Structure 1
Amino acid sequence: MDDAAGVGRDEVIRLILCQLSAYGFANLSQAIAVHTKVPMTTDSNSRLAELVQLGLQSEQQQPPPQSQVQNQQEGGATESDTELDAGGIDLGRASRVAEAPQYHMWYKTKHKGTATTAAFSRDGEYIATGSADASLKLIEVDRVRRPSAGSARREDKPVIRTLYHHEAEITGVAFHPNGLVLASCAADRSIKLFDISAAYGKHAFQSFSDNYAFRSIAFHPSGDYLAASGDSPDVRLYSVRTGKAYLMGGGDSEMSATVAQVAYAGSGALIASASSDGAVRLWDGVAGTCVRTIQAHEGRAATGVTFSRSGKYVLSTGLDSCVRLWDVGSGRLVQTYAGAHLDAPNAQAVFSHDESLVMVPDARANAVACWDAQSSALLTRVAEHSQPITWIAASPATPAFMTCSTDECVRFWGAQ
């Protein structure tokens, strides 16, 4: 197709790349991007499918399915949400107590400063890590070898890229849903976007800045927006395409607490934030208003927040040394996970890949505490370190996780 047909070659290829990634073919998409020399953008990864659907509807002279649109706007479950929820946590469903896998360290690499943050790509094929030395590392999971597999060849080393563009400590990382763009935020008051499909290049292609240090970022499921928080009482929403910032408002009339972390629900309908005043706030992702405030940690700071895959629950972490599970619809407390010591201002609990476990770094044990998500039974502590663990990120696809530590190392732990 050429420009005479109304759409340029590069634009068509970008749509194809994003759609391939949405279907789980990130490696193929990256190879095509390199071969065609068409750089990835942060366009919606489902745009091609949407255009095809609209074209087919136009041919058939049928209006769009309004019930589906309305359901998504109201935060209802879509077919994809239902698929994600299969096997996920559901306290209304009886289940036996989970067994924690035997985790072993498969891989370790080192930064030149405290390792501060990490994240898996949506398909679990890549990991990004950040450090106080202002660098980012990109790790390909397929190259991480079991301890019994022997030494890797030099060309098979898991770290495939090291990225530099920040001027201060990296505080958060997030993969775009298309898997080909990495976002990072830092204490230098900036957010940067990197094209990781490009064969070379260590610098960002897009940057946002503000008047405070950023601490957390999260992509909308479409990839069109990026929520951000930090040393400010505000949650900001950035348009990835235009860079324009929107201030989330409403809810509490006067908020002075800083926001440690933000997270999107899988549907994109809600954003959760964890604040130093101990509150977890739920925000309407479209209207930008606070729709619920949960006093989650008895006045102690809330330091982490994440949704279950179904969006039915939100998991909060706080400096009262408790991890709590809340019903999103009612704001009701449904489970408390106790027995670990939490003292870091960015302490964050995560679900395991199948949501059978809740995991959090235990500051006194320098290990990861694992609870049965359904019963809240403390099962074990794994991944012992000699120095404090600063961050944990769980694989969305396999029984594996990544830890960061003050010893400057990041470690990949897999089930044997």
Structure 2
Amino acid sequence: MDAPEATREEIIRLILCQLSAYGFANLSQAIATHTKVPMTTDSNSRLAELVKLGQQSERQAGRRTGTGAEIEPKADAQLATGSSGETAGSEGGIDLSRRSQAGTVRVPHFQVWYKTRHKDSATTAAFSRDGRYIATGSADASLKLIEVDKVRDPSAGSARREDKPVIRTLYHHEAEVTGLAFHPNGLVLASCSADHSIKLFDLSAAYGKHSFQSFTDNFAYRTIAFHPSGDYMAAGGDAPEVRLYNVHTGKAYLLAAGSGAGLAQHTGSITQTCYTHSGSLIGSSSSDGTVKIWDGVSGRCVRTVDQAHDGRAVTAVAFSRSGKYALSTGLDSCVRLWEVGSGRLVQTYRGASLSAANEQAVFSHDETLVMAPDARANAVVAWDAASGELLAKCAEHRQRITWIAASPTTPAFMSCSTDECVRYWSPSSV
């Protein structure tokens, strides 16, 4: 039986959300007004994905393809529990066994294109899903919204006020901003803070500087991550439980302990939460030295990596785009790559000094590089993701780097520092 035809309102809503994701929020709102189709901040941006699926069907591809290059050993283990696993990104991804023989990747020559300053330490940053916007947070409790297209304009530093890269400054927290996440539809920015709150800001509002929704608890938040649908947020902080928030109702849930040895709750504070690209798995890292993998549907713990960093605190965790691998950062000054399905250690990246509870390693946009801050050199280091070879150090900050965020679409990244500055880096050829 054929699937029912999409209604007029469903199609228009997809168009509205896609326009907003491309940065045309005002145009989207105008079309919504003209067609009388309500535009809500919690709508999913799926038009591009549906178009891609349609194109694949027309070509009769016969196999799933990924969204980017993938670190791809030949083994394809599934989660031992049999819960909803992730499939590989693409057959053309990086093969660890072959890459070590073929040589390392050529690291781009990163340079600083733009710098902005907060009134206190710059603490966190995030890119929007389409890479068009950057949000930064600070210990001064403020947030900045930056338009990437204006960052690379040589006149950015002296342009007219309306043309400058910082297009909005947001205020509503009472203490340090500790984490940021863009809603998948690009219309909402979420921030968490040491003031015990998570706040949602409407980016489609022309002059709004305050949040329209808040979530509070009795501990400082350190991390937030949106489910790909935008309906839920996984959050954590100075409490041992990972909390799941329904964005529409505001109701909070605790992720549940699983069954079996090691599948219990964390026993220390939560340092980072993340979702896989499909949302089927949630990752969490903790000061208790563990990395945990949670089923995104049942909320139950399905895998624990104990002693992930020789008993030292794990400061961050991030999934590869296919969801087959998890990248952890620890206070043993190592970054480690784990196979999610088996819990096997795949690679260890050494050569950076990691000394703070919020430092994190990230993948580059094509996952050929792994990058992390180096506290000793006030620099960002880059490794070959496959071989683990340290390739480069990028140093411009005068003090310790607190956070790095990689663009999801181009070879670029943001770095934040206790010197109060945020810097945008990319190769000169981009």
For 1:17-416, list aligned pairs within 5 A: 17-21=16-20, 25-33=21-29, 36=32, 40-46=40-46, 74-77=84-87, 82=89, 85=90, 89-91=94-96, 94=99, 96-145=103-152, 151-251=158-258, 252-253=263-264, 255-295=266-306, 296-416=308-428
Q: Which segment drifts farther, 323-332 or 37-46? A: 37-46
Contact conserved, 1:104 with 1:383, CA < 8 A, in 2? Answer: no
- Give yes or no for contact 1:130–1:137 (8 Å, CA) kept in 2: yes
Q: Distance in 1 between matches of 2:327 and 2:177?
A: 24
CA–CA separation in structure 2 for the residues paired with 1:247 and 1:200: 35
1:213 CA drift (Å): 0.7
Partner SS state of residue 18, structure 1: helix
Q: Helix, strand or coil: the match of 1:17?
A: helix
Helix, strand or coil: the match of 2:228? coil
Distance across 2 between alignment mates of 1:76 and 1:102: 33
Distance, in Å, in 2 between the alignment partners of 1:399 and 1:196 is: 25
Query: Structure 2 counterpart of 1:124, which letter?
Result: G
Change (3 A) 1:346 1:48: closer
CA deviation string 1:160-215 (max 9, x = no partner):
01111111110000001111111100011111111101211111111111111100
RMSD (Å) for aligned C-alpha atoms: 2.6
Range with bigger deviation, 189-198 or 245-254: 245-254
Give, in whole Å, the separation in 2 of the partners of 1:304 and 1:89. Answer: 23
CA distance in structure 1 between the partners assigned to 2:264 and 2:293 by the alignment: 15
- The letter of the residue matching 1:259 is I
**Matches of 1:149 and 1:330, distance apart in 2:** 48
> The residue matched to 1:155 in structure 2 has which SS?
helix
Q: In the aligned structure 2, how far is the partner of 1:348 from the partner of 1:161?
A: 26
Where 1:218 maps in the other structure, the secondary structure is strand
Q: Which amino acid aligns with 2:28?
A: I
- What is the distance in 2 between the residues matched to 1:195 and 1:108? 25
* Shift in Å, 1:320: 0.3
Letter in 1 for 2:173: H
Tell me how many residue pairs correspond in the alignment: 381
On the 8 A contact 1:383/1:413 being kept in 2, the answer is no
TM-superposed CA distance for 1:87, in Å, is: 6.2
Between the aligned partners of 1:387 and 1:321, the Cα distance in structure 2 is 18
Asked if 1 retains the 8 angstrom alpha-carbon contact of 2:271 and 2:287, the reply is yes
Instruction: Check whether the contact 1:14–1:40 (CA below 8 A) recurs between aligned residues.
Output: no
Long gaps (5+) in structure 1: 1-6, 54-71
Q: Residue by residue, what CA displacement relative to the aligned partner does 1:262-320 show, whole Å, maximum 9, x if unpaired?
A: 11011111111111111000011111111111121010000011011111110000000
TM-score calculated relative to the size of structure 2: 0.83
SS at match of 2:222: strand
For residues 7-43 of structure 1, the C-alpha deviation after alignment (integer angstroms, 9 at most, x for no partner) is: 998x98655422445xxx5223443226756664123
Contact 1:162 1:202 in 2 (8 A): yes
Contact conserved, 2:234 with 2:243, CA < 8 A, in 1?
A: yes
Query: Using the alignment, how far apart are the partners of 1:43 and 1:148 within structure 2?
Result: 36
Shift of 1:48: 11
Taking a change above 3 Å as real, the CA distance of residues 102 and 346 of structure 1, as seen in their structure-2 partners, is same
Structure 1 298/45 Cα, relative in aligned 2: closer, same or farther at 3 Å? same
Matches of 2:404 and 2:108, distance apart in 1: 16
Shift, 1:147, TM fit: 5.1
Residue identity matched to 1:371: W
Secondary structure of 1:390 counterpart: strand
Q: CA 1:34 to 1:107, structure 2 compared with 1: closer, same or farther past 3 Å?
A: farther
1:44 shift after superposition:
2.8
Tell me the SS of whatever aligns to 1:392.
Answer: strand
Moved more, 33-42 or 384-393: 33-42
Partner of 1:27, secondary structure, is: coil
Match of 1:64 in 2: none
Contact 1:214-1:229 at 8 Å conserved across structures: yes
Q: Distance in 1 between matches of 2:400 and 2:244?
A: 32
Structure 1 residues 255 and 358: alpha-carbon distance in aligned structure 2, compared to 1, 3 A threshold: closer
CA gap of 1:259–1:49, structure 2 versus 1, over 3 A, is closer
CA contact (8 A) 1:34 1:199 kept: no
TM-score by length of 1: 0.85
Q: Hey, what's the Cα distance between the residues in 1 that align with 2:127 and 2:236?
A: 20
Task: Note the C-alpha offset of 1:349.
Answer: 0.2
1:115-173 Cα shifts (integer Å, max 9, x gaps): 00000001100000001111110000000125598843332100001111111110000
